[in-house]
Amino acid sequence: MLERVELREGWDVAKDVKAFRFDRRLKFTAGQFIMAWLPGVGEKPFSLAWGDLIVVKRVGPFTSRLFELEEGDHIWIRGPYGRGFEPKGESVALVGGGIGIPPLYAFARQNKDRFENVTLIYGARSEDELALMDIENYVDEVVITTDDGSAGRKGFPTEVLAERKGEFDGVYACGPEPMLKAVLRVMDYEKVQVSAERYMKCGIGVCGSCNLGKYLVCRDGPVFNGLQMRGLL
């Protein structure tokens, strides 16, 4: 059921990335998503960064219209939907790329006292595209990579993961599909949970538009364990 919520605030997080906080805090598990609707524009899924928070990259007509909204304006939401991350292990890595940070941010914040050590390995194309927010408050270490070397280490987050994989007994990843594939290869599938992305229309497992092999991402995911993704990513 659609619910109208009021935007309490919005702020720039990175280049073409904004955070939007609304006036209703949802109960959710990190990794779950909501469907957001704007009249006359359409409906899109967004991972929750917190119960009242989404982080959005401007990529098309819907997100461009969302960026035009101001405090006091309204959007319509439904959810949360899907399966989230399941905390396992003691020393874990969160591996993110691009706009993959929101569910990892939520996971770190929800499980701040659950693990012995949490390392964020996060990559973007350049420094101005890093959407970290205040995640450093919820992890023990932040390792940054950029494609162009403008911040942190030049390269990709999976290169860091490959060098340090022996330190981690759990890996949680969200980002571009090539990065997820590399994470699964590095960690041999068993220790990994990934947040997959597919085009979603209904969000509740009816339309089938988000199929990934035998799975529907909106219903069976978006979080999957590595063994489920063997041969699919």
For the chain, which domains are there? 3-81 (2.40.30.10), 91-225 (3.40.50.80)
In this structure, the strands spanning 211-212 and 215-216 are antiparallel
Backbone angles phi, psi at 110, to 5 degrees: -70, -25
Q: Is the pLDDT of residue 231 over 90?
A: no
Q: Is the pLDDT reported for residue 84 higher than 90? A: yes
CB 66 within 8 A of CB 134: no
User: Mean pLDDT of all residues in the chain?
Assistant: 95
Say whether pLDDT at 232 is over 90: no
Interacting residues of 2 by C-beta distance below 8 A, sequence separation 6+: 37, 76, 77, 78
Global pTM?
Answer: 0.95
pLDDT digits (tens, 9 = 90+) for 162-213: 999 999 999 999 999 999 999 999 998 889 999 988 878 888 888 888 898 8
Give the confidence band of 1 by pLDDT, cuts at 50, 70, 90: confident
Task: Give me 186's structure tokens.
Answer: 């590095």
Q: What confidence score (pLDDT) does residue 190 get?
A: 86
137 pLDDT tier (thresholds 50, 70, 90): very high
DSSP label at residue 203: S
Cβ-contact 101, 195 below 8 angstroms: no
Residue 166 is given by DSSP the state: G
DSSP characters for 145-161? EETTSSSSEES-HHHHH
Mean pLDDT of the 145-172 span: 96
pLDDT exceeds cutoff 90 at 88: yes
**Secondary structure (3-state) at 68:** helix
Its sign, for the CA torsion 26, 137, 156, 93, is negative
Q: What is the mean pLDDT of residues 138-156?
A: 96
How far is residue 7's CA from residue 4's CA, in Å, rounded to a whole number?
10
Per-residue pLDDT tens over the stretch 2-31 = 999 999 999 999 999 999 999 999 999 999
Q: What is the mean pLDDT of residues 106-123?
A: 96
146 falls in which pLDDT band (50, 70, 90)?
very high
